[in-house]
Amino acid sequence: MSKEAIATVIYHEAIHGLLEAKGVPIDWPHETMAESYQTRIKIVLTELFPCMPIDDASALGWLGLTRTYQFHAIKIYDVQNATGITRNILQTAYDYQTNQRGTASGCP
């Protein structure tokens, strides 16, 4: 797993803690995260990894959030307009998780 993917997971889990502290209902943290924090994850990643392409950071921001209404809305737009965006997001996230892109961490 790349350092970028590891940072994404840590940030994702930290947001879970933040949402729990704020009293967000336990069934909805990913919907809240997709709506309000996906862009923040993207920004944090570009701050941590300044050479990281913004589209890659955005794709990683969707890690763990692909079952949300927001991601499904992107899928619907993608299917209706044949943009290929969801495939690109999923492929990019997979590449960072499998060390095909990003900074090698030494972790499998």
Q: Which residues bind Zn ion (CB under 5 A)?
A: 64
Residue 5 near residue 14, CB atoms below 8 Å: no
- The helix (run of H) or strand (run of E) holding residue 17 is helix 3-22
Residue 55 near residue 3, CB atoms below 8 Å: no
Rounded least distance, CB 57 to Zn ion, Å: 18
User: How many residues are listed for the chain in this entry?
Assistant: 108
> Please, which residue, 36 or 100, has the CB nearer to Zn ion?
36
The residue of the chain with the least Cβ separation from Zn ion equals 64
Q: What is the CA radius of gyration of the chain?
A: 14
> Please, which residue, 64 or 102, has the CB nearer to Zn ion?
64
Residue 41 near residue 11, CB atoms below 8 Å: yes
Distance (Å, rounded) from C-alpha 97 to C-alpha 4? 9
> Please, which residue, 25 or 53, has the CB nearer to Zn ion?
25
Rounded least distance, CB 58 to Zn ion, Å: 17
